[in-house]
Amino acid sequence: MAVENFWDIIKFPSSADGRMIYKNYINGEWVESSAKKTFDVLNPADGTIVGRVQKSTREDADSAIDAAFNTKKVWANTPAVERSKILSKASDLIRDHKDHIIEMLVEESGKPLLTATDEVLAAAERIEYASEECKYIFGDEMDGHMSPHKIGKIGLLFKRPLGVVLAVSSFNYPLHIGTCKIAPALAAGNTVICKPASDDPISLVLLARIFEAAGLPKGAFNVITGGGKDIGDHLAESEKIDMISFTGSTDTGKHVAKISGMKKLHMELGGKAACIVLADADLELAAKEIVKGSFTYAGQRCDAISRVLVEESVADKLIELAAKELDTWKMGNPKDPNVKIGPVINKWAFETITDLIDDSLKKGAKMVRGGKREGLFIEPVILDNMNLDMRIMWEETFGPAVPFYRVKNYNEALEIANRSEFGLDNCIFTQNIDKALDAGLKMESGTVSINTSPSHGLGFFPFGGDKDSGVGREGIRESIKDMTKSHVVILKLK
């Protein structure tokens, strides 16, 4: 089937200006908002309208909730081998139609072409892995002979789906983060309602078309677009939803947790990853990894390196190497395959990032590289001469700016790293195995990377946050485990 025909079902042109309007996907049908209202999705690189999506109402949210709730037994009772086939088909379809999805991702998120390509292929791979894992969801058998009260009994433990999972994804990796929630939820036998971020929701609408074509039953997967205040709270409060998997800001995550009631929660929230660089480190490696870890997708990543704590004796050399590496990173039109730095997502993000940079400059920081601003573009910034009163040392930056703070020794670096309220990722560069492992055990975050920058990737290794960075862990196998519940049957023997 031709690509243009494949996607036609999910959209229609606006009679006013010809812009495409994308529909909600609820209970296997492509539908408009009950209010017949839409909102614009803008290209952050040039401000043009990419398309329009539904401004959904609570009535629309209830329709999605009911669809998922009414289908949960059907999907839960679908044999794992059949669920696996559908997920595998979806993975293949993403690859078949990747060019269109990549193009949309570049347009709506401002993501550079190479980064968008990696994201789409990673989403396909994540679904493929989930299709395999769903065939290996096993329970256990327990002989009661170990307890005097259970002698003569056998316990059979079964792993069952939770029911309905609400997947709320963030703007920075809209397709991949959404897929990281949706794929394991479906693999485990749950039905799903997905609410994408409003800045770039269309790629997840495209994913709904992929699942529809792959043969997912009506109601097993639903996508509904709209603002958090319009439908987000209503979805989170619903008693028909059994789990919320949320990625976003710490403040919003705390709000969702407060209103969600007795639901299982997975929250991946803010981050402030510290990168410790000791004097014995391979400085060229550290510099390359710091630039990659700080500036990929303009630093708009929860696992981005957000501050560098470097021993004084090698600070000048490391900053020189990092600046030299950054000079090879081109900023510009995200459609240019040579561009590595595009715009930030919106005006609010631009102002938040530039406020943090300006605060540090007012307090004495030195701008080693970058700083030019135009539209939503911020030239990547390296900052030196930092002090601990600067907000950028503590607040989540989520943008293309990284401060280098000079420390006297490893212990000082560790203390400053752990002083943060966040605890998602940290990393250390050293050739001292004792200090590397010590940091791995003592740095207060869900993940500590040694001699590499943090990256959650496909989720082969479990990841998630401590402290204000969230609760729960994600990963290919870990997410499926989190999205099932134990059901025990006890048999008394004659």
Q: Which two tokens stand for residue 101?
A: 């999805």
Residue 237 annotated as catalytic: no
Q: Return the pLDDT at 16.
A: 83
pLDDT in tens, 270-297: 999 999 999 999 999 999 999 999 999 9
Are 192 and 88 part of one and the same domain? yes
Please report the sign of the dihedral spanned by the C-alpha atoms of residue 232, residue 236, residue 238, residue 244.
positive
The one catalytic residue in 119, 128, 268, 474 is: 268
Q: 202 burial class (0-12, 13-18, 19+ CB within 10 angstroms)?
A: buried
Domain shared by 279 and 200, yes or no: no
In whole angstroms, what is the distance from residue 395 CA to residue 272 CA? Answer: 7
CATH number, domain of 131, equals: 3.40.605.10
- For 386, the token pair is 């930092």
* Count of structural domains within the chain: 2
Asked if 38 contacts 55 with a C-beta cutoff of 8 angstroms, the reply is yes
Decide if 247 contacts 169 (C-beta within 8 A): yes
Residue 205 counted as domain residue: yes
54: in domain? yes
CA distances from 176 to 16, 124, 322 (A): 33, 9, 29
Alpha helices, DSSP H only, in 263-304? 283-295
Low-confidence stretches of the chain (pLDDT < 70) are 1-4
Please, what is the angle between helix 113-133 and helix 80-96, to 10°?
160
Q: Is 302 a catalytic residue?
A: yes
Catalytic residue, chosen from 134, 302, 474, 478, is: 302
Q: Are residues 245 and 318 in the same domain?
A: no
Residue 149, domain member (yes or no): yes
Q: 482 lies in which domain range?
A: 7-269+473-487
What is the predicted pLDDT for the residue at 4? 59
Specify the pTM: 0.95
Residue linked to tokens 């605890």 = 423
Please tell me the distance from the alpha carbon of residue 296 to that of residue 291, in angstroms, as a whole number.
8
Pairing status of strand 153-161 against strand 140-143: antiparallel
- How far apart are alpha carbons 62 and 27 in whole angstroms? 11
pLDDT at 41: 98
- Helix or strand or coil: residue 360? helix
Same domain, 264 and 343: no
Q: Is the Cβ–Cβ distance between 156 and 233 less than 8 Å? A: no
- The whole-angstrom separation of Cα 145 and Cα 148 is 7
Could you read off the pLDDT of 320-353 as tens digits, one per residue?
999 999 999 999 999 999 999 999 999 999 999 9
pLDDT at residue 1, rounded to an integer: 40
